[in-house]
């Protein structure tokens, strides 16, 4: 029995050596491939216009649609204003109001309808400046401006720097078990880093496009402000404009500061080639950065505008 076991053990040793040799050669091959691709990846950073084109296309489409939507809003407003005045006249008749009260109510009603129609007629003087004012306030936190494409480009630059720093002083002869483990960790960290910055850039695109669409849709929704049954849509639109403005302000404030902080991560990575610990620390900072950008703007906007009611419904129902 012992002789057979020795023979089996002796026969299994070559197989184990072959498997180990294949693994080492496979790791070396992957390392060589990575060494060849890192310079190319660093040289082929995505151009900023990849995401910026999306923003500009939506901006152009929303601005182009707004005049037609405002024309529809004016027509809708006129029809609903006639219904509102007729309904008010019916209420005054049924309640047997005196001529003085009827005249006073009519003047107040017409005054409010004129104000609401003035918001439609001068839409571009009121609501776009609100959005742009919040945006400018958020951008003032940083001396320079940024675009979504620049956010994504910085993420790709950091991730490729992580991979490049890992392989900077590494040769094929240095490949062993711990080194392969570090390579895998850095590869995963670099991929997660790029995804996080893609999410941050996506949030910027999302809120910017949301601001364009709220202005385009709002130019139509304001037409319903003339009738008490539909005026709540106008109330919600005005509240929504302020909510989007607050989100823009906080988002650009956070991203402006975060971009400056992230720029300082590059020297940390490049000055510690082959060291995994600084790369993982930078990854932790990127996760925190992404959480701030995802959570805080929407939470603050919801909290500040939750009970905000401009008063279209109350004004029309009061008389």
Query: Tell me: the pLDDT tens digits for 30-70?
Result: 443 343 444 444 444 555 577 888 899 999 999 999 999 99
User: Is the confidence at residue 90, as pLDDT, over 70?
Assistant: yes
Identify the residue with better confidence: 118 or 14. 118
Best CA proximity match to 46, nearest among 194, 180, 243, 175:
194
Q: Are 223 and 72 in contact (CB under 8 A)?
A: yes
Look-up of token digits 């003339």: 226
Other Cβ atoms closer than 10 A to 152: 26
Q: What's the length of the chain?
A: 319
Helices and strands (H and E) in the chain: how many: 10, 0
Instruction: Inform me whether the pLDDT recorded for 15 exceeds 80.
Output: no
Average pLDDT, the chain: 81
User: For residue 143, what pLDDT is reported?
Assistant: 63
pLDDT of residue 238: 92
Q: How far apart are CA 271 and CA 305, in angstroms?
A: 46
Pairwise pLDDT comparison (308 vs 248), residue with the higher score: 248
Indicate the pLDDT class of residue 208, thresholds 50, 70 and 90: very high
E strand residue ranges, the chain: none
Give me 56's structure tokens: 């500009």
Q: How far is CA 254 from CA 49, 159, 264, in A?
A: 22, 21, 16
- Burial of 204: CB neighbours in 10 Å, binned 0-12, 13-18, 19+: buried
Range with lowest mean pLDDT among 61-65, 80-84, 306-310? 306-310
Answering whether pTM is above 0.75, one says yes
Eight-class DSSP state of 227: S
Mean pLDDT score, 113-132 = 91
Label residue 97 by pLDDT band (50, 70, 90): low
The pair of structure tokens assigned to 153 is 């480009």
* pLDDT value at residue 7: 44
Please report the pLDDT score of residue 213 as a whole number: 92
Which pair of structure tokens corresponds to residue 291? Answer: 């959480």
Which pLDDT belongs to residue 1? 45
Mean pLDDT computed over 200-223: 92
3-class secondary structure, 176: coil
Q: How confident is the model at residue 96 (pLDDT cuts 50, 70, 90)?
A: low
Look at residue 105 in the predicted model and tell me its pLDDT. 78
Cα 156 to Cα 150: distance, rounded to the nearest angstrom: 10
123-179 pLDDT per residue, tens: 999 899 999 999 888 888 666 667 898 999 999 999 998 888 877 765 555 566 677
**How would you class 14 by CB atoms within 10 Å of its CB: exposed for 0-12, middle for 13-18, buried for 19 or more?**
exposed
Between 277 and 29, where is the model more confident? 277
Q: What is the DSSP annotation of 124-162?
A: HHHHHHHHHHHHHHHHTTSSS---HHHHHHHHHHHHHHH
What mean pLDDT comes out for the span 107-128?
90
φ/ψ region of 96 (left if φ > 0, alpha if ψ in -120 to 50, else beta) reads left
- At residue 228, the 3 state secondary structure works out as coil
Cα–Cα distance, 238 to 127 (Å, whole number): 9
- Cα separations (Å) of 292 from 5, 36, 254, 280? 62, 36, 7, 19
Q: Tell me the two tokens of residue 205.
A: 């695109």
């Amino acid at each position: 029995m012992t002789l057979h076991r020795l023979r089996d053990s002796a026969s299994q040793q070559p197989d184990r050596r072959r498997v180990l040799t294949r693994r080492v050669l496979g790791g070396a091959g992957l390392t060589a491939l990575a060494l060849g691709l890192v310079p190319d990846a660093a040289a082929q950073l995505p151009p900023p216009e990849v995401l910026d084109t999306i923003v500009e296309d939506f901006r152009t489409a929303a601005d182009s649609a707004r005049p037609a939507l405002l024309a529809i809003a004016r027509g809708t407003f006129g029809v609903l204003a006639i219904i509102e005045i007729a309904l008010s006249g019916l209420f005054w008749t049924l309640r047997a109001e005196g001529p003085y009260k009827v005249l006073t109510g009519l003047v107040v009603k017409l005054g409010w309808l004129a104000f609401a129609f003035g918001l439609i007629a001068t839409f571009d003087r009121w609501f776009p400046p609100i959005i742009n004012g919040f945006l400018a306030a958020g951008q003032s936190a940083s001396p320079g401006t940024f675009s979504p494409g620049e956010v994504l480009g910085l993420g790709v630059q950091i991730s490729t720097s992580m991979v490049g720093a890992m392989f900077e002083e590494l040769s094929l002869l240095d490949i062993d078990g711990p080194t392969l483990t570090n390579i895998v960790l850095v590869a995963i960290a670099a991929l997660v880093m790029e995804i996080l910055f893609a999410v941050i850039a996506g949030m910027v695109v999302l809120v910017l496009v949301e601001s364009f669409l709220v202005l385009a849709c709002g130019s139509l929704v304001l037409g319903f402000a003339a009738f008490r049954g539909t005026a709540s849509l106008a109330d919600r639109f005005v509240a929504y404009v302020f909510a989007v403005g607050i989100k823009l302000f906080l988002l650009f404030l956070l991203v402006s500061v975060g971009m400056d902080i992230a720029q300082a991560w590059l020297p940390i990575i490049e000055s510690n080639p082959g060291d995994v610990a600084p790369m993982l620390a930078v990854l932790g900072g990127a996760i925190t950065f992404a959480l701030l950008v995802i959570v805080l703007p929407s939470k603050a906007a919801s909290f500040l505008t939750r009970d905000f009611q401009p008063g279209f419904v109350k004004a029309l129902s009061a008389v």
